[in-house]
Amino acid sequence: MAPESEKVRIAVLHGPNLNLLGQREPEIYGSLTLGDIDARLREEAASLGVEVETFQSNVEGLLVDRIQEAAPRVSGFLVNAGAYTHTSVALRDALAGVGRPFVEVHLSNVQAREPFRHESLLAPKAVGAIMGFGVDSYVLGLRGLVAHVRRVEAAPSAPAS
């Protein structure tokens, strides 16, 4: 939970190959670059009154490191784990283990693609998932995550027993 009086801060994680956005496969992933997506998220964050920090890596362990390192300063994670969505027990364990809510997002509608993309190892641990809307998946995911965090942070905590 974010300290009182501090702005809600969200860590955005982009997984493997998302650094190539805008260079290839625009028919699947659109023509925006990752920088464009991050800029759109910063704009949306400003209008929501929150802060975002963004990180991309092609290396599974670096994403795990980032989750562990960022968790104490953030209220939640917005995650497009790319292909690791479908394979990574390590990312699932890291996200489940740090005690912060996360929302899974995808540019494409993975359910309409190859069967190996239909399973997400992360989704069962997520507060929600949004896919198929290009950059708007991230924007909608950020809105949903911030609303969730605000709801949880406003709720009275259970009395100590």
To the query of whether residue 106 is one of the catalytic residues in this protein, the response is: yes
d(CA 108, CA 30): 9
Q: By CB under 6 A, is residue 82 in contact with ligand CA2?
A: yes
Out of 29, 86, 118, 138, pick the active-site residue. 29
Which tokens go with 98?
């740090």
Paired tokens of 43: 């704009």
Size of the site for ligand CA2 (CB under 6 A): 16
Of 8, 10, 21, 52, the residue at the interface with ligand CA2 (CB under 6 A) is 21
Question: What are the CA-CA distances from residue 24 to residues 20, 29, 131, 134, 137 (Å)?
Answer: 7, 8, 19, 15, 19
Min CB(39)–ligand CA2 separation in Å: 17
How are the residues of the chain apportioned to helix, strand and coil, as percentages rounded to the nearest 5? 50, 15, 35
Choices 23-31, 48-56, 91-99, 150-158; region in contact with ligand CA2 by CB under 6 A: 23-31
Q: Which stretch binds ligand CA2 (CB under 6 A): 59-67, 76-84, 89-97, 144-152?
A: 76-84
Pick the closer one to ligand CA2 by CB: 17 or 152: 17
Pick the closest to residue 83 from 61, 110, 46 (CA basis).
Answer: 110
Stretch that binds ligand CA2, among 4-12, 59-67, 77-85, 93-101 (CB under 6 A): 77-85
What is the smallest separation between the CB atom of 95 and ligand CA2, expressed in angstroms? 15
- Tokens 């790319």, residue? 82
CA torsion sign, 120 to 121 to 124 to 126? Answer: negative
Which of 2, 10, 11, 29 binds ligand CA2 (CB under 6 A)? It is 29
Helix, coil or strand: residue 108: coil
Catalytic residues: 29, 106
Using CB under 6 A, list all residues that contact ligand CA2. 17-18, 20-21, 24-25, 29, 80, 82-83, 85, 106-108, 110, 117
